[in-house]
Amino acid sequence: MGRTMTTSEIASSATDFAHGTPAAGNAGIRELYEEHGTALWHYAWRLTGDASRAQDVVQETLLRAWQHPEVTNDSERSARSWLFTVARNMIIDESRSLRYRREVSALSGAGVPERASQDEVNAALDRMLINEALRRLSPEHLAVVQRSYVQGWTTAEIAADLGIAEGTVKSRLHYALRTLRRILREMGVRP
């Protein structure tokens, strides 16, 4: 796993990108980077585990945004979702391609490589996204979500374990799920 880039390194990378392409004069792309670049880099880094690959994903995503000028005219939320979706799809495509190349090169002339189905790849990426969203919850919300949805505990069991009222458990679950939906939307996940 690579090291985490600093905000200034990310900004420098985006500046290099902006000055090295015809998009240098496009203020919309710079604005997209300034508003979403750091969050997009962190998102890509969490999915790839590689700082330089995350930097490449951010640059390629901005290049695609430049190729689709309508993105810079969209609302901030819509543009953010578009950027995160493009980044996610690039990472998915790359991982599929890389896995396929490894399987083909590992063949010793016998058999056909076993490939993960699109559903398996999507399920794995969905788990990664959900885990990232869960990490962003407050400790109180995370505690009730884990006990309820992961461990299958009842409201009464959670209340007894945490020493809080059952109504508080229900309230925390409600707000935790609402927060998870918001986080996932910000990450480009559509319901």
Q: How far is CA 128 from the centre of its chain?
A: 8
Supply φ then ψ for residue 98, to 5 degrees. -65, -45
pLDDT tens digits along 109-135: 544 445 567 777 777 787 888 888 898
> Angle at CA 175, nearest 5°, toward 170 and 179?
150
Type of residue numbered 142: L
| Residue 176 confidence class, pLDDT cut points 50, 70, 90 | very high
CATH numbers and ranges of domains, the chain: 7-103 (1.10.1740), 120-186 (1.10.10.10)
pLDDT tens digits along 101-115: 666 566 545 444 455
pLDDT tens digits along 19-77: 444 444 467 788 888 888 898 998 888 888 888 888 999 999 888 888 887 777 766 66
